[in-house]
Chains A and B, each alone.
Chain A
């Protein structure tokens, strides 16, 4: 029987939708309400055939991208889908997820329930389904070739870049150069130069001469990717620094 993960922080609605899907589609639906819980389950070796994931988890201060990345890393064959309100608050995150991961479809929570169930039915039967038409205007016609998980490495080429992104991840929304200088311990001019070095690569991520604030928002959206790359850079740096 198809194992379908349904991950949404609105636990009551999620459970109800899960029982509806069980009845309508005769699939094994596993509802979950937390990214942390999912990561634990995935670490323990649990696998799903299909994962339908919400993007916004404000109480955990996490995003669906983290869940999707964890699932994709542990089981690349799992069919990934997004379920979302599709409003402006998640529009950019939705684009990031769409371009960086093999998302099979996007389901709108605002669509009629029968339409949502039908999308899931197509997912179960064929492994893909048309994107909800109300969400489609938020997504590009083609996935940008320059955008991929691997391309993020070009944004963290050395320890200095890692420090810059780490500082941006921890900075307030109205981040200033001073905040970054204070967090990194780098010289102001160095911070400016690191940012300048990253501009051509940021263009590939649809960021044209972004302000520090826009870079911070981008880092926050793609936090799990940056955290991994910063971690790798930290390990390399640790290996170089003698005990």
Chain B
């Protein structure tokens, strides 16, 4: 990597993600740190569900208390609670955050931060004003939500604080010291039960929520870390198996084919032209296998599948009159649609070559639900109904479905069109 010393301001060395980063990241919520290719593991999903469940449980407790204390008459706290719920759902929603990330992101995340702070302030006010001191430990449910969010955020940004570290930070934090000192001052100066009640509720709730958050954080962090270790171990096993499979593939397909060619050359005294043909065939076979591997590997671009048929036609000396461009051929296909496209194009090309085509054209179009591929040739007419049952094109008709394979007469030749349904293509 190039030297960073000049770009780094005032020679400051590389840093790690620290506590300030963590607090800022937590304020934006864990969803702000996911990227489009972030993997959602079972543990992460479990965390999100438990976070949501604890949020709902806290809201239910608070609603019940409001209804009991005010006999259903207190509109203000209820409206406040609903607003908090809306703000919480909005700021936790991946889709709204993803939308903000696309547009003006800094402003978007500031809005999220403002909403989260507002929700927290409204929630705290309602809690302190409604909940009796003896019930304030119920806030532990809310603490679970905080702990889960903190663990997910820390995991996403690569911060790894320990239990003791977090506890120390909390005890010495301005928020904690401010609430405790402010509460004590209010209690000493106020001297009436209403003030004392608020102070006890505020301090008690803060302590319980913090301890509950930190304990949840530590438990969840350990679970996430263990899940990460398990995943690494599985990846290692899969990689080893894949390497062995490739070694076997090279031995069976590549080395065996080359040996066959060498034996043929020695035994049959092949001339230059014959060796060249054999090598072309070997090249074709290896490219077909390469395509098999790519189809098995998941999503594959239609262009890659077409390439194989175009090359085959080129090798046969056919002139290619038309091919689709990136805009049409860049569609990614899942394995099933990819296999069908491959079968169609290779079948159409094979038929056209057998019929003596000298010019071939390839077209491709796609909608949300299907890919339409057409291969046209100049090899005279071809009637689909004449295809022998149970073979090639006839079995393709069965796989594509009725009316989805069409042959048409075009100038001096045939245009074969297949409509391939899309399942999970993008």
Contacts and interface: CB of A to CB of B under 8 A. Distances in A.
Nearest to B107: A196
A166 B327 contact: no
Contacts of B381: none
A221 to B, nearest CB: 16
Contacts of B328: 137
A138 B303 CA distance: 6
A12 to B, nearest CB: 15
B376 to A, nearest CB: 14
A189 B4 contact: no
B389 interface: no
B303 A196 contact: no
B314 A111 contact: yes
Contact of A163 (B4, B15, B324): B4
Nearest to A238: B6
Interface in A182-204: 182-185, 187-189, 192-193, 196-197, 199
A147 interface: no
A237 B12 CA distance: 15
A214 to B, nearest CB: 7
Contact of A133 (B12, B156, B314): B314
7 A-B pairs with least C-beta separation: A170-B1, A178-B158, A196-B105, A211-B35, A137-B329, A137-B303, A133-B320
Contacts of A196: 101, 105-106, 109
A193 B28 CA distance: 12
A181 B16 contact: yes
B294 A185 contact: no
A13 interface: no
Interface of B: 1-2, 4, 6-9, 12-17, 20-21, 24-25, 32-33, 35-38, 98, 101-102, 105-106, 109, 156-159, 283, 287, 290, 294, 300-304, 306-307, 310-311, 314-315, 317, 320, 323-330, 364
Nearest to B22: A188
Given A185-B13, A189-B25, A237 B7 contact: yes
A121 B371 CA distance: 37
Nearest to B316: A112
Contact of B304 (A87, A192, A234): A87
B24 A189 contact: yes
A37 interface: no
B301 A111 contact: no
Contacts, number: 159
Contacts of A230: 2, 7
Contacts of A117: none
A59 B157 CA distance: 34
A32 interface: no
A159 B307 CA distance: 43
Contacts of B304: 87-88
Interface string A2-39: 00000000000000000000000000000000000000
Contact of B158 (A167, A176, A189, A192): A176
A138 B20 contact: no
Given A137-B302, A181-B17, A184-B7, 10 more contacts: A91-B301, A111-B311, A136-B325, A138-B303, A166-B1, A177-B158, A181-B158, A184-B14, A185-B14, A187-B24
Contacts of A134: 307, 310-311, 314, 323
Contacts of A86: 307
Interface of A: 86-88, 91, 95, 108, 110-112, 115, 133-141, 159, 162-163, 166-167, 169-170, 176-179, 181-185, 187-189, 192-193, 196-197, 199, 208-214, 227, 230, 233-234, 237-238, 241
B37 A188 contact: no
A185 B326 contact: no
Contact of A137 (B24, B37, B306): B306
A133 B159 CA distance: 50
B17 A183 contact: no
Contacts of A139: 325-326
Contacts of A210: 36
B2 A166 contact: yes
Contacts of A213: 35, 37
Given A183-B1, A227-B2, A87 B105 contact: no
Contacts of B323: 133-134, 136-137
Contacts of B157: 176-178, 188
Contacts of B13: 185
Given A209-B101, A209-B102, A230-B2, A162 B7 contact: yes
B314 A115 contact: yes
Contacts of B25: 188-189
Contact of A140 (B98, B109, B307, B327): B327
A208 B99 CA distance: 12
A135 B324 CA distance: 10
Nearest to A114: B317
Contacts of B16: 178, 181-182
Which of B2, B294, B304 has most chain A Cβ within 10 Å? B2
Given A141-B327, A199-B105, A185 B98 contact: no
A167 B4 CA distance: 9
A210 B46 CA distance: 26
A183 B35 contact: no
B2 A193 contact: no
A87 B157 CA distance: 35
A196 B15 CA distance: 21
Given A213-B35, A234-B6, A133 B303 contact: no
A211 B38 contact: yes
19 contacts: A88-B294, A110-B283, A110-B311, A111-B311, A134-B314, A137-B307, A138-B329, A163-B4, A166-B2, A177-B158, A181-B16, A184-B4, A185-B4, A185-B9, A187-B20, A189-B24, A192-B33, A209-B36, A209-B102
